[in-house]
Amino acid sequence: MIDWNAIGAEAAELLSGYLQIKSINPPGDERAAAEYLDGVLRARGLTATRYASAPNRVNLVARLRGDGSKPPILLYHHMDVVAADPARWSCDPFGGEVRDGYVWGRGAIDMKGMGIMQALALDLLQHHQPQRTRDIILLAAADEEKGSVYGVQWMLAHHWPELAAEYVWDEGSFGLQDFFGPMPVFAISVAEKKDLWLRLVAHGEPGHSGMPHAANAADILLRALERVKQLDARYVLHPVVQRMFAQIGAALPYPKSFLLQHLDNPLVFRLAQPTLTADPTIAAMLKDTLSITVLRAGGKENVIPDRAEATLDLRLLPDHEPETVMATLRQLIADPRVTIEIIQAPAAAAVSDVNSEFYRTLTAVLKRLTPGCVTAPMLTPGTTDSCFFRRMGVNSYGLFPAIIDPGELARFHGIDERISIKNLRLGTRIFYEVLSAMTR
Ligand SMILES: [Zn+2]
């Protein structure tokens, strides 16, 4: 029998130590964090290998062997965290304080807490399930908060054979309570948006600003920007999002249940749109978003600029192609004086299988350990390292196995980030039970 209360306490203590390491990115330095994790694993008889991608940048890989009759599962987390302003926190963001049933600190839910759950689950697995069909790989990555160039991208380019897995378990969402209803909804990310960065350049004629003319590049650009914003109101229902709403809808009372379960009907979809899209996170799952992020024109008070440019940050749905979206933008702008340049185009995005053995096992464990919960696939509006694994043909699933409400989620990259000991216990147990079932 496993004493889960003792495991929760052990997780809190280990996480407290992990949160005290300032692995802030930028600048990015994971050496101390990797050293700490290595110690945690070594104390439990597990050994890890460190891979330096740059002088201060380290990735760590541990492997619990199985008999190899099935391919490995990879548990992913990143060791780096975003900055925290101590003046705005109620405690030291790097103090690792344990208070009121919570472990406080930057990285608690993004995502060192999940790393500790994984390490403890690995230890439990080696003791309680000596016969295992699969290797379990633990990857503690660098540089996720700044593009993963020194982290997963580097690891996949240089050490793919060590990481080749059938499934990856990554972050991406949580068990969300009081978002859709009182019941926790474990939204398992199986796909994500992809970034397309474009530069609009308006070409005009210079002149004296005391005698305005019709070819002011700033005017041309403003008109174009007004038009491209129409893209933002074009809602579509991706199959993953449809399935998510249908499964959440099944747990809600009428008429919400009816609406959410019939969004594939264009009439119902249009009827539900104002309510659904009132939430920016939901809205972002239903369209290609467009944000104007940089504007540049002119250099002198009394000179009409002949060139003006704007940077657009577009986040496309997984099955939308950059060329098609750019063609739509050209159509909307309908002005040959405005050109569109690609700053950065996304690689093709894959969607992970919602009928795989891993997905079915994960949802079964979640339902057993959290009676009354809902499980649903989700499309992450942001980006995670899963996109790199999916490009390698791996089914990657994003779920931080903890139940949190909107107030707790606001602490993610925010102030007073924390995780409850109850969640550390639950999450470790979810990891353990899933791995146990998957390695039988
Ligand atoms: Zn993260």
24 alpha carbon – ligand 1 mean position (Å):
12
Say how far apart CA 345 and CA 354 lie, in whole Å. 27
The token duo for 426 is: 């639950």
Provide the pLDDT for residue 237: 97
Question: Where does 132-229 have alpha helices with state H?
Answer: 152-163, 217-228
Q: What is the pLDDT of residues 319-360, one digit of tens each?
A: 999 999 999 999 999 999 999 999 999 988 999 999 999 999
19 alpha carbon – ligand 1 mean position (Å):
14
80 alpha carbon – ligand 1 mean position (Å):
8
Please give the model's pTM, rounded to 2 decimal places.
0.92
For residue 89, the one-letter residue type is: W
Strand partners, 340: 200
244 alpha carbon – ligand 1 mean position (Å):
22
For residue 85, the one-letter residue type is: D
203 alpha carbon – ligand 1 mean position (Å):
40
Q: Tell me the domains of the chain and their CATH numbers.
A: 4-171+400-438 (3.40.630.10), 193-344 (3.30.70.360)
Phi, psi of 431, rounded to the nearest 5 degrees: -55, -50
Say which residue the tokens 């339902």 belong to. 367
Cα separations in angstroms, 208 against 205, 212, 221, 296, 298 = 10, 7, 18, 19, 12
For residue 286, the one-letter residue type is: L
| Crossing angle of helices 322-333 and 217-228, rounded to 10° | 120
From start to end of 233-392, where are the E strands?
Answer: 289-297, 303-304, 307-316, 338-344, 374-380
Provide the pLDDT for residue 382: 87
**Residues in the chain with pLDDT < 50?**
none
CB count within 10 Å of CB 367 equals: 14
271 alpha carbon – ligand 1 mean position (Å):
35
E strand or H helix at 11: helix 4-19
The token duo for 61 is: 């890989």
The token duo for 431 is: 């990891």
390 alpha carbon – ligand 1 mean position (Å):
17
**Half-sphere exposure of 284 toward its Cβ, with a 13 Å CA cutoff?**
18
Whether the upstream peptide bond of residue 27 has omega within 30° of 0, thus cis, is yes
Q: In what order do the strands lie in the sheet with 102-104?
A: 98-99, 102-104, 418-420
232 alpha carbon – ligand 1 mean position (Å):
27
Provide the pLDDT for residue 41: 98
314 alpha carbon – ligand 1 mean position (Å):
21
43 alpha carbon – ligand 1 mean position (Å):
26
**Half-sphere exposure of 184 toward its Cβ, with a 13 Å CA cutoff?**
19
